[in-house]
Structures are given as C-alpha cells and as structure tokens.
C-alpha cells in the first residue's frame, strides 16, 4: 500500500480478527476436541460461560497487543518482545518455539485422524498432506497468507452456519432438553482461562497483519472484534454438541460423531474438507510468524530479502518435527496435556508482562518506550 492508497477498513479492522481466528481455530477447535476437553465438562450453560470469559480475555489482550505493536512498530514477535521484555525477550522465543511444535503436532494429528475417519487412509498420509500445503503457502509470504486467511474464513463461516442449521433441524429437541436440564456450572472459570491462555499466542503470531493499522482507533476496533470473530463458530458448534452430552465428550473427533448422526455423506465430506482448510490456515499462520521473524533479522544483518527457498526450508524443518511428535503422542493427549502447560507458560511470559509493563509503556512517550527497551 502507498501513502496515496491507504488500506481499507477491512484490512485495518476486520482482517486482524480473521487472522486471529485462523490461528486459534486449529485442529482441536475445528474438530470439536478442544471444546469437549475445556467446555463440555462444565455442562451446557457452564461451557457457554467459559466461552464468554475466553472471548473477553482474547479481546482485551488483542487490543493491548495491537496498540503496543502500533506504538513500537513491531511487525514480528522478536521486535515486539524486545520492546516488552527488553533483554529477556528470548524467554518468549523459547516458549513460542515449544508452543508452535505442540500446536503443529496437534494439527498434524487432527489431519491424520480425519484422513483415517473419512477416507480410510493411514493417518500419516493426512499429516504429510497438511504439512506439504502449509509449506507451499508459508513460502510465498504475507500476501499469500492473507489471501488464505480471507478465503478460508468465508468457507469456514459458511459451512459452520449450514452445520448449525442442520443440527438444529435434526437435533433441536435434544439441544433444548440439554439446556433445560439443571446442573452445576463447575469448572467453567479454569476451563475458560486455560483455553484463552494457550490460544492467546495467536495475537502475537498475526503481528505481520497489523502492518495495516493506521491509528489507535484501528487497533482498538480490530482487537475488540478479534475475540468474537474467533469464538463465534465455536459457540455455534458447542451448541450443536450438547445434543449428545455427555457421550460426545469421549470422542476423538466430536465433529465426525455429529456428522455421522446427521447421515448426510456429502455434507460430512464438505465439513471435513473445511476442517482441513482450517488446519491449513492455522498452521500456515504459525509458521509464517517464524518466517517473518527470521526475514526481519535477515534483512537487518544481510540487507537482503529472505528468499522463498529459504522460507520453504525453514517451514519444512519445523513441520518435520511436528509430524514426528503427532505420530508418537496423538491428538487427545496433545490437547489435554500439552495445551494446558502452554497456557501456564504463555500467561507468565506474555499476558502478565503485557497487561502490566505493556500497559504502563503505552502511557509513555514513544522515545521513553524505546529507551526502556
């Protein structure tokens, strides 16, 4: 974009939220596995309360993150945390690399489970197919990734809308009965905090998209929209899932469990292809953040642009390890155990410093922030 042609409102205020949704939705969200792990144990109403809590946390942290990125001109996570944590910025990088390995491993495991459940293929085929496509999209840089976020978002929201309509038409009485049942809303606060905690890394992953922000107002509006845009499909999906509560909790792929009960083979295929596309955009977003961090460092030191070949090499190296972990650990264990520990780490090295030191620095003049870093 040039000074004469500033980015439109969509890129400034909506695209960051769609990008955040793209990173958050991932394997466990799109398949329903995360919803079954963190929300269903609290029951129908408790699960919705946990979702509302997570949404509020996401919007708050996204607003502050976008404002801080705008003020410090941070378009990659290295620059962002150099300003936020000073000499301690490598703490986040270590946490991020561990997080991205766990998250990508969960994506690979989900792709493998879909390939096995829908097509009867070995799980490794689904995982390798996903990794290959992520490599292609990540290698082409910002424009390729942003187009992916945009068009997969249209597909995702459309398919989820159809799914909810079908679910209510087929299971409406069961859904109503589930919400009518009295039950204790236990554990919804820890569930919402944990889910928000490990997914909030998405606000940092999408920093390259914040280059379109032109004002503090853009940053605030984009941040406020990010939470609802990311959680809306999950809330609709969760509402459909309660039709078979509590049996659906034990399913590796709750989405496929519901789809088989709809008994619509063509839509089942479309839905699982949408899930695969969601895995693709989430995985691409995570790897793209690493590529952009390396590209900016490479530009500063070598005065050269990181080539597509080098981007591809970095992506393949990261994804190869993820496929190995996915094959050894599996989707359920990665989501139940790996994600929980990620939440604790990210709250300590990102959210807590951002909402204390970061908020304080937002009240300071730009030169004071630079000197403090």
Distance CA 99, CA 57 (A): 19
Residue labelled with tokens 């249209």: 154
Residue 300 lies in a domain: yes
What does the pLDDT average to over 86-101?
84
**Owning domain of residue 110:** 9-372
pTM value?
0.80
**Does a cis peptide bond (omega within 30 degrees of 0) precede residue 357?**
no
More confident residue, 332 or 2: 332
φ and ψ of 184, to 5 deg: -70, 135
pLDDT attached to residue 154: 82
128 to each of 108, 282, 321, how far by Cα in Å? 8, 16, 12
More confident residue, 291 or 262: 262
> In this predicted structure, which of 55-64, 71-80, 180-189 has the lowest mean pLDDT?
180-189
Residue 252 lies in a domain: yes
Reported as a pLDDT band with limits 50, 70 and 90, residue 3 is very low
Distance CA 184, CA 192 (A): 16
pLDDT attached to residue 1: 44
Nearest CA-CA partner of 343 in 65, 110, 98: 98
Q: At what angle do helices 15-31 and 43-72 cross, to 10 degrees?
A: 140
Total structural domains within the chain: 1
What does the pLDDT average to over 89-100?
83
pLDDT attached to residue 28: 61
Residue 325 lies in a domain: yes
> Is 80 exceeded by the pLDDT of residue 335?
no
> Is 60 exceeded by the pLDDT of residue 18?
yes
Residue 3 lies in a domain: no
C-beta separation of 22 from 285 below 8 A: yes
> In this predicted structure, which of 28-42, 122-136, 332-346 has the lowest mean pLDDT?
332-346
Query: Which tokens is 87 given?
Result: 């000499």
Distance CA 156, CA 253 (A): 17
Residue 4 lies in a domain: no
Residue 55 lies in a domain: yes
Phi-psi region for residue 187, left (φ > 0), alpha (ψ -120 to 50) or beta?
Answer: left
C-alpha neighbours within 13 Å on the C-beta side of residue 16: 35
What does the pLDDT average to over 336-351?
79
CATH code (residue 14): 1.20.1740.10
Residue 2 lies in a domain: no
What's the N-to-C CA distance of the chain in angstroms?
29
Reported as a pLDDT band with limits 50, 70 and 90, residue 362 is very high
More confident residue, 234 or 130: 234
């Amino acid at each position: 974009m040039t000074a004469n042609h500033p980015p439109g409102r969509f890129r400034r205020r909506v695209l960051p939220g769609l990008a955040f949704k793209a990173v958050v939705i991932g394997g466990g969200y799109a398949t329903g596995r995360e919803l079954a792990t963190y929300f269903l144990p609290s029951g129908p109403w408790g699960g919705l309360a946990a979702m509302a809590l997570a949404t509020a946390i996401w919007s708050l942290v996204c607003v502050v993150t976008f404002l801080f990125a705008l003020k410090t001109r941070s378009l990659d996570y290295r620059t962002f945390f150099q300003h936020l944590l000073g000499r301690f910025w490598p703490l986040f990088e270590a946490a991020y690399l561990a997080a991205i390995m766990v998250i990508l491993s969960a994506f690979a495991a989900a792709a493998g489970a879909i390939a096995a459940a829908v097509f009867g293929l070995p799980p490794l085929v689904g995982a390798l197919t996903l990794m290959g496509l992520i490599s292609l999209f990540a290698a082409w840089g910002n424009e390729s990734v942003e187009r992916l976020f945009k068009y997969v978002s249209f597909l995702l929201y459309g398919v989820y809308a159809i799914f909810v309509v079908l679910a209510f038409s087929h299971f409406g009485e069961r859904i109503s009965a589930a919400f009518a049942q009295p039950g204790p809303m236990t554990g919804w606060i820890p569930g919402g905090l944990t889910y928000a905690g490990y997914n909030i890394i998405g606000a940092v992953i999408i920093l390259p998209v914040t280059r379109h922000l032109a004002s503090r107002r853009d940053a605030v509006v984009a941040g406020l929209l990010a939470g609802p845009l990311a959680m809306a499909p999950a809330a609709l999906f969760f509402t459909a899932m309660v039709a078979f509560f509590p049996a659906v909790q034990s399913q590796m792929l709750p989405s496929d469990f519901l789809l088989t009960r709809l008994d619509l083979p063509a839509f089942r295929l479309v839905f699982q292809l949408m899930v695969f596309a969601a895995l693709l955009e989430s995985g691409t977003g995570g790897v793209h953040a690493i590529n952009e961090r390396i590209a900016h460092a490479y530009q500063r030191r070598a005065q050269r642009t990181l080539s597509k070949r080098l981007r591809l090499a970095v992506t393949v190296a990261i994804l190869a390890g993820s496929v190995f972990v996915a094959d050894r650990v599996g989707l359920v264990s990665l989501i139940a155990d790996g994600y929980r520990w990620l939440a604790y780490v990210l709250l300590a090295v990102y959210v807590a410093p951002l909402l204390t030191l970061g908020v304080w620095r937002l009240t300071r003049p730009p030169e004071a922030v630079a000197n403090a870093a």
